[in-house]
Copies of this chain bind each other. A is one copy, B any other.
């Protein structure tokens, strides 16, 4: 029963489903907030539960460096450590090595790098990534991959070769079990033929799910959509599809329209730390003086704990550098994305996704109130 994926409705290419995991069912499509260091920044688990968050992502790279995957294993695993009862997905560490580590040297067996925390020398390879993720104990774990700059063909080709080789090693180190599902990652940058090769190779390994990696890392939105158009039809319909690192509200629409089931992104909590908030009329920044006396909630169309507070109060908290600002704006932003995806799931079931999507995009992409 674990990791069975049921599709309960379709609307065009979009699907609504349920992914069963050892820590509970995930209604799909789903947006997963990111708890980088075993905490979704500023929010206690109870508030995430209250927002109906059904999946969170945590980062192998960060937890490997601090507090260490063996410590977390000895403390009963990541669920127990951070007191999150629901499903967890961990990434492989590959992406962060390239984006965060001070220096790194890649070879065909793995990557040697210096920790961004203390400069110490570390190494990750497919087997070690699997071992770390086994120690962490997430429900869904990701193959160790190399995520290149998406438009440099030579770099993308080299990365693809390694990613495929490493996937086989990950698969050997982690055969299917009832506790953890291994997902493979399709790479290939913005090049249709490379995406095609990658999809063919990765899906040949018959994994529990497939991710589309290497997007939202420098390409245009139009390139992202074209890559999805080209890649998704090459993934099996009966497995969950995960678009990594994507979470802009309009990108969620475009992904779901094309048949993506799972998304994750740091954007709701990262924006919150800069006082930026999603609204149905576009993104606003609560530091703006225009909100000084504004008695309305962040977004009158959303109803959560944060919507009990005025923009004027939130602006005051932001200007006064009060910790409560992070809590309230993070809560709002996560609710915005989670509710948005839940509404799309409902719309798929009701066969009216396009009507929801076009209305949402028309409202959201209007000229920004701050701008």
Listed in ascending order, the chain A residues whose CB lies under 8 Å from chain B are 37-39, 41-44, 46, 66-67, 71, 74-76, 81-83, 292-293, 295, 305, 308-310, 312-313, 316-317, 319-320, 322-324, 326-328
Contact = CB atoms under 8 A, between A and B. Distances in A.
A319 B316 CA distance: 29
Contacts of A76: 295
Counting every copy of the chain, the complex holds 2
A324 B41 contact: yes
B324 A67 contact: no
B81 A44 contact: no
A316 B63 CA distance: 10
A81 B43 contact: no
B308 A67 contact: no
Given A292-B67, A323-B326, A312 B75 contact: yes
A328 to B, nearest CB: 7
5 closest A-B pairs by beta carbon, nearest first, are A42-B323, A67-B316, A39-B324, A37-B320, A39-B322
A67 to B, nearest CB: 5
B67 A319 contact: yes
Contact of A327 (B293, B320, B327): B327
Nearest to A315: B67
Contact of A319 (B66, B74, B82, B326): B66
B66 A320 contact: yes
Given A323-B326, A327-B327, A310 B75 contact: yes
Contacts of A308: 83
A312 B81 contact: yes
Contacts of A295: 75-76
B324 A42 contact: yes
Contacts of A310: 75, 81
A44 to B, nearest CB: 6
Contacts of A316: 37-38, 66-67, 81
A210 to B, nearest CB: 32
Contacts of A37: 316-317, 320, 322
Nearest to A324: B39
Contacts of A326: 323
28 contacts: A37-B317, A38-B313, A38-B316, A39-B317, A39-B324, A41-B322, A41-B323, A42-B323, A42-B324, A42-B327, A43-B324, A44-B324, A44-B327, A44-B328, A66-B319, A67-B292, A67-B316, A71-B312, A74-B293, A75-B310, A81-B310, A81-B312, A81-B313, A81-B316, A83-B308, A83-B313, A323-B326, A323-B327
Contacts of A317: 37, 39
A64 to B, nearest CB: 13
Contacts of A327: 42, 44, 323, 327
A141 B316 CA distance: 22
Contacts of A67: 292, 312, 316, 319-320
A230 to B, nearest CB: 39
A24 to B, nearest CB: 18
A323 to B, nearest CB: 4
A75 B293 contact: yes
Contacts of A43: 324
Nearest to A80: B310
